[in-house]
């Protein structure tokens, strides 16, 4: 009984898969030039595995051999199809984040791998710059600051809470307390609100002149 002929290693199907994978490598690499190296490994030829390399960051060339991960795929058909976001390093020491995608043919044999190597050293410097940009100094503030517009409603609430904390209504506050309140309102920006002085005079039962005297008095 004659044995069935073996399918040649470089089958037509494999060639089609490699050609299609090469399109993907070229497109992704050209989308992120100088940032992400994209390499197509032909695992049928481990000694000359690199078939295409786009946005070259590692200094390798077409025809260079497969990496350790590529060799592991050749040896083990059960090797994971995707190894994602693992730490790596370029020959010059720059840190990289890598992802390797294995490509199998219909027989379940790994014939190729697409590898993406992102140069994270660029982002590390950007991250440091952003960190410096958003960092604030640890120092004691002379007073709390709120970066929003005040309203008359908030003004009324502040006046009433100030008086209530002292066991009074706004009108029954003593002169010293009223002066303290008016100066506090000015410091906190409430007297910049439209009609604020009129509202304060109504709440405290004093004249506009008195309010301005509170602000001028030592």
Interval 189-211 mean pLDDT: 91
Most confident of 50-64, 154-168, 182-196: 50-64
pLDDT 10s digits, 38-77:
999 999 999 999 999 999 999 999 999 999 999 999 999 9
Over the range 66-94, which residues count as b (16 or more CB within 10 Å of their CB) and which as e?
Answer: bbebbbbbbeeeebeeebeeeebeeeeeb
Q: What is the pLDDT of residue 143?
A: 58
Q: What are phi and psi of 14, to 5 degrees?
A: -60, -40
Alpha helices in the chain (DSSP H): 12-31, 68-75, 120-134, 152-164, 175-187, 196-204, 208-216
Given pLDDT bands bounded at 50, 70 and 90, which one contains residue 6? very low
Give dist(CA 145, CA 43) in Å, integer: 63
Weakest mean pLDDT among 28-42, 68-82, 188-202 = 188-202
Given pLDDT bands bounded at 50, 70 and 90, which one contains residue 33? very high
pLDDT 10s digits, 105-128:
999 999 999 999 999 988 877 888
**Which of 4, 3, 7, 5 has the alpha carbon at shortest distance from 109?**
7
Give me the percent of the chain exceeding a pLDDT of 70. 89
Q: What is the pLDDT of residue 21?
A: 97
């Amino acid at each position: 009984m004659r044995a069935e002929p073996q399918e040649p290693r470089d089958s037509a199907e494999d060639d089609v898969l490699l050609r299609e994978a090469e399109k993907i490598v070229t497109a992704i690499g050209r989308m992120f030039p100088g940032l992400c190296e994209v390499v197509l490994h032909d695992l049928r030829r481990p000694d000359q595995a690199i078939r295409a390399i786009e946005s070259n960051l590692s200094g390798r060339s077409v025809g260079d051999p497969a990496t350790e991960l590529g060799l592991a795929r050749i040896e083990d058909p059960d090797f994971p199809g995707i190894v994602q976001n693992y730490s790596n390093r370029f020959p010059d020491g720059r840190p990289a984040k890598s992802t390797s995608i294995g490509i199998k043919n219909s027989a379940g044999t790994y014939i190729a791998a697409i590898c993406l190597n992102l140069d994270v050293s660029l982002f590390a410097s950007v991250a440091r710059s952003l960190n410096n940009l958003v960092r604030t100094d640890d120092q004691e503030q002379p007073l709390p600051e709120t970066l929003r517009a005040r309203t008359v409603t908030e003004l009324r609430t502040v006046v009433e809470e100030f008086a209530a904390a002292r066991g009074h209504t706004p009108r029954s506050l003593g002169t010293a307390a009223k002066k303290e309140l008016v100066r506090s309102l000015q410091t906190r920006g409430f007297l910049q609100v439209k009609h604020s002085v009129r509202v304060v005079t109504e709440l405290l039962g004093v004249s506009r002149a008195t309010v301005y005297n509170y602000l001028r008095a030592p």
